[in-house]
Structures are given as C-alpha cells and as structure tokens.
Amino acid sequence: MDQTRTDETTVLIVGAGPAGLVLGNLLLAAGVDCLLVEHRSRAYVEQRARAGFLAANTVRVLRENGLAAGLLANSEEHDTCAFRTEEGEFQLAYGKLGRGEVHTVYPQQFLVTDLVAEFLARGGDLRFETAAVEAGGLDGERVELLTRAADGSTRLLRGQFLAGCDGRHGFARTAVPTGALRRHHRDHGVSWLALLAGAPQSMSAITYAVHQDGFAGHMARSPQVTRYYLQVPPGTDPADWSEERVWAELAHRMRAERYGALHRGPILERRVINMASDVQDPMQYGRLFLVGDAASLISPSAAKGANLAVMAAETLAHALVTQVQYGDEAALRRYSADCLPRVWRAQEFSHWMIGLLHGPAGQDGDAPFLRELQQARLANLRDSRRHQDQFAQEYVGI
C-alpha cells in the first residue's frame, strides 16, 4: 500500500456514529488502544438528525459506562403510543405492560455530540474528514488500513482488529471479499417521507395513523422539534412535497378534524426512506467485525437501528478486551452467534410492524385479504392483554 506515514494501534474503528463511538469509549475505558476515522466533518456528525428513541438496554449501556450525563440531564421518557384508525383511536401505556420498560427520547445528534466529547476527553484519537480507502490483512495476523485526509494526504494505519461501524453504504462492507458473507435482504415495497418539523409535538403519545391513503406517524424529538412520517410511493422526490402539501396531508391522515389541529412549523428536513431489511451473516470476516447498520440494516418502523448498534458495540468491546488483555479469543469467535439472534428478533418485530401499519391499496389480488388481516392485528392489539404485553416487550426490548 502506498502511504506517507504509518500509525499503530490495537483496534481500528471506521465510522463515528453511535456504534463506533460507544465501541471506542468502552475500549478506552478498559485500557485498549484504538483509533477512529470518520469521513465526514465533526460538525456534520454532531448535527445529523437520526434516531431518537433509546431502549432500556441502550440506556443501561450508556449509564454503566459513564456515557449518559447529557442523556440523564436532557432526555424525556415516553411510555405510551396511540393508534388512529377509521374506527377511532386507542392508546397503549406500554410502560405498564410487558416488562414495564419505557423509551428514553434523546436525539441521536445530541448523543453523538456527547460521545465524541467523552472519547476525546478519554484521550482517544479521532480523525474527522478522513476516509478509509483500502484494507489489507483481514484474514492474516495484522490489519492494514489506508486512509486519505481531506487535503489528499494518506496514512497507513495498522492494528490487530478492524471494526466497521460506518453504515450500510460505508467502506467496511466493501472491504469484505465478494461472496464471503451471506446477505439476507428484503425490500418491503414501502417508502416513507421522513420529516423534521420545527414545531412542538401535537400529541403527548407516539402516534401511528393507519389510513387508506397511507400511513402517517408522529414522534417527539425535543420540545421544539417533532419527527413526522408520511407513506409515499417508492421513487418519490422529497422536493415535490411543499410545506403546505406536507401539513395538509399530515392533517388528513392524522385525522386532525377529529382529534385536533397539528402544531405547525418550518420543515427542517425531508428525505425518503425505503423500507428495507438487510443482514450480513456472519457479522465478521477474519479480523474485520461489522457493527450497527454495516451488519444489520433494519427498517425504522420499530426504532431499533441505533439500539441494535449500541448492543453490538457492547458485545464486541467485551470480546476485544477479553482477547487483548487475557488472550481468550472465545468471545470474539462468538461475536456473530451472540448478536444475530437479537438482530433477527428485532427484524421479525419490524416486519410485523410494517404489516400492522401499511395496508395495501386497491381491490386487486390479495390486497383486500391483507387489509382484513391488518384490521385483525389492530383489534388484537386494542383488545387483548396478551397481545399488548407481547407488543410492549418487543417494542422496547433489544
């Protein structure tokens, strides 16, 4: 590999999202050297609005490892969700069902900002605007990673292990030889227009509106910012949705005429999300370990992505520390086996939620049958305590 300088460490981490930053912080706390590279700028990753609902196990990981100061000071707990249908609205106080767990609402950009600051305070080496270009030695004794900075300069990084925490379209996946991992993929045929509105939440609960014209969702992010979702046809251009059109369609599908007007504000973000699931099996190749969306992309229908990433980071950190400090490789060999059952259980619930929220339109084929199944699922959720307890356990649990 061509390079100008060479740096040595124990664990190389690609990607400064929740997965990479939690992994890096846990390794530093245990005395394991690591070096983290991120191709975006610090300002970008600290402002990128993504997930905001943290599961109880995620909060546990952050608290137990001294990473929850900002979360504990500025988050809110949510314990209720509501479903609106043509028949009316019903609420589930899921915090009092199942295991009695709640969501902690803390926008991902705030969490990432906290994790970056803590990583640097612990003496971590974090290189922004530094792209991973080429990897070698993944199936050997030592990993080499060629990186390129924004000014075009290159460095060769060497380490014992490489953690790919840079998402579905990141470098880490491309570093795995073709055919070395089995890819499980499903396109659910559903797309959402994901919106961030500069407006306070319009209802106290997470709200899912099931409508013949398409799903709409409402989720709190902060006192002055609310996340909305609108089901749109695949291939939709977000630019086609003006603010007036967005608010009119949200009001229509959320049935504002029946339940009250929505609090309006400027639309801060518009992007289309295609509901897809993707799992790499195993989640490792030689000395490369995939974490978070790099290993298991999940649809946002059940708010599992960032939570799965944090749990995988905790699992990998423990395995790496055990190997580096004690020479015991058993936990590293089990990394995929330990993570994949959790991933598939989350995938199953996400798939179920997609069926719950999206009824096929029209009268062709099996569309009428599937809509009746959808109504039966909603009725079970409304009327059956057994179904409610199961929903609560899977909804919050990781």
Q: Which residue numbers are catalytic?
A: 78, 208, 300, 304, 395
Determine contact, residues 8/158, Cβ cutoff 8 Å.
Answer: yes
Place of tokens 């705030």: 110
Q: Provide the CA 65 distance to its chain's centre, in angstroms.
A: 20
Could you tell me which residues come within 8 angstroms of residue 81 by beta carbon, excluding any fewer than 6 positions away? 91, 92, 94, 205, 206, 207, 208, 395
Could you tell me which residues come within 8 angstroms of residue 212 by beta carbon, excluding any fewer than 6 positions away? 86, 359, 361
The C-alpha atoms of residue 334 and residue 27 are separated, in whole angstroms, by: 18
Is the preceding omega at residue 282 within 30 degrees of 0, hence cis?
A: yes
